[in-house]
Structure 1
Amino acid sequence: MLEHCTLPVTPLEQNATLIWCNETGRAAWVDPGGEAPTLLARVRDQGLELDSILLTHGHLDHAGGAAELARLSGAPVIGPQREDAFWLEQLPQQAAMFGFPEIAPLTPDRWLDDGETLELGNERLQVLHCPGHTPGHVVFFSPSARLALVGDVLFNGAIGRSDFPGGNGRVLIESITQKLWPLGDDVRFIPGHGPESTFGEQRRRNPFVADHVLAG
């Protein structure tokens, strides 16, 4: 069974999420935006082995700690989709803009594409390419746990910004309604910021993508 815990990191309070297979103890950090030593300590405290570092997209608050965590743990950095390469190349400029410590550009060990499947112990994660917030944004979905890690595509009561370079509001809405909603109303999701919710709750109440809103 897939289990998880979420730890907000950096002044931007981004949700870094640790997921693991409780049968094998193999784990992955999703979107380690910073505080890499703290994240690695959490893995050890849980008695887990870090298998990989997964990125939904290339913004600093989600990817800023990935290189250091990889260096400390030896785990590979996987994702996002290749169209976010320019964001990862601009991590130094992003860090300077927000007053963060100096950071180098990042090239993942592996890019991801829509429809791929990742293994984590005995668990499987489906990869969905969900552009709109950034062009290479991906979502990780566990069918067995009915859990989605959606980065900055969708929030509890909101949706991701689409005014950054490469963003597109129409495409973002399509990603939510055509990629996420079909997974099922019962799916619980962990956003990049803020509390968890379910797709069904957002279809009822989210002022940007509720069914009655989109129906006009």
Structure 2
Amino acid sequence: MKYKIVPVTPFQQNCTVMWCEKTLKAVVVDPGGDVHKIVNLLETEKLILEKILLTHAHIDHAGGTAELAILKNVPIEGPHKDDQFWIEGLDQQSAMFGFPKVSNFVPNRWLNDGDQIRFGEVVLEVLHCPGHTPGHVIFYNADEKLAQVGDVIFQGSIGRTDFPRGNHQDLIRSIKEKLFVLGDDIRFIPGHGPMSTLGAERKHNPFVADHRG
């Protein structure tokens, strides 16, 4: 599997394009906006977009979803259904944060813990990791030891929980019981900022490091 990160929106959200090297079949994770940048990468790499994946439904992660899905005629998978209210409120989110007006959508498939996503010869495991939003999911590829974690955890920080239906204790539990158990050598792509490893965050992240108990 190969991947490239495309920072989009004024929030510089890490939209991620992942693809199977053998078949060139691809997925786009969290197309928050700037759809032309995403399409340019797909065309440059000669990729065949199969589906759009969403970690959660905040505007900077989901704002370009409907536009890209219509443009490429592909299905939308994710997040977990507990984020439906965020999708239904995309218009309000775009107005609140000064984003261009966006179209609502209904995912073709809501995702649950333990689900799998396939494109070409690549398999992504789905982990439901609530806290930042109630329906947040992450995507994990065991072969590459790589995860796309959205806004669950960042290098040196964790996701906000002060938005509607955010929950700090749920977030900490998701990180420690769902992510850290994957192994210290797992690299992760966060929703914003640089990549890190779960091991580095276990040692140094002030919010969830082992020494915090």
Deviation at 1:107, TM superposition (A): 1.2
Give the match for residue 68 of structure 1: 67
* Local SS of the residue matching 1:99: coil
Scaled by the length of structure 2, what TM-score is found?
0.99
Q: CA deviation at 1:37?
A: 2.0
Determine whether 1:160 maps to 2:142. no
Superposed CA offset, 1:117-167 (max 9, x none) = 111110100000000000000000000110000000000000000111111
How far is the alpha carbon of 1:61 from its aligned partner? 0.2
% of aligned pairs identical? Answer: 54
- Answer yes or no: is 1:42 the counterpart of 2:59: no
* Matches of 2:27 and 2:60, distance apart in 1: 17
Paired residues of 2:57 and 2:87 also in contact (CA < 8 A): yes
* Equivalent residue number for residue 181 of structure 1: 180
CA shift, 1:56, in A, is 0.1
For the 8 Å contact 2:91–2:103, the answer to whether it is kept is: yes
User: In 2, are the aligned partners of 1:91 and 1:106 still within 8 Å (CA)?
Assistant: no
Q: Runs in 1 of length 4+ with deviation above 3 angstroms?
A: none
Are the counterparts in 1 of residues 67 and 103 from structure 2 also a CA contact under 8 Å?
A: no
Q: Is the 8 A contact 1:113 1:128 kept in 2?
A: yes
User: Residue 164 of structure 2 aligns to a residue in which SS?
Assistant: coil
Match of 1:139 in 2: 138
CA contact (8 A) 1:173 1:209 kept: yes
1:106: Cα distance to partner? 2.1
Runs of at least 5 residues in structure 1 that lack an aligned partner in the other structure: none
Aligned residue for 2:78, secondary structure, equals strand
Aligned residues: 213
* Residue 175 (structure 1) shift: 0.2
Question: What amino acid maps onto 2:29 in structure 1?
Answer: V
Deviations 1:182-208 (A, max 9, x none): 111000000000000000000000000
2:2 equivalent in structure 1: 3
Trace 1:2-41 onto structure 2 (pairs within 5 A).
2-41=1-40
Deviation at 1:99, TM superposition (A): 1.2
Does structure 1 retain, via aligned residues, the 8 Å contact 2:6–2:37?
no
Question: Is contact 1:37-1:69 (8 Å) kept?
Answer: no
> Could you list the per-position Cα deviations for residues 70-123 of structure 1 after superposition, in whole angstroms to 9, with x for gaps in the alignment?
111111111000000000000000000111111122211111000001111101
Q: Structure 1: how far apart are the matches of 2:98 and 2:173?
A: 34
> C-alpha distance in 2, partners of 1:47/1:105?
28
Cα distance between partner residues in 2 of 1:10 and 1:141:
24
Partner of 1:170: 169
Distance 1:39 1:92 in 2: 22
Q: Which residue of 2 aligns with 1:95?
A: 94
* Aligned twin of 1:53: 52
1:208 counterpart = 2:210: no
Which amino acid in the other structure matches residue 121 of structure 1? G
What is the alpha-carbon distance in structure 2 between the residues aligned to residue 73 and residue 106 of structure 1? 15
Q: Distance in 2 between matches of 1:92 and 1:83?
A: 18
Q: Provide the alpha-carbon RMSD of the alignment.
A: 0.7
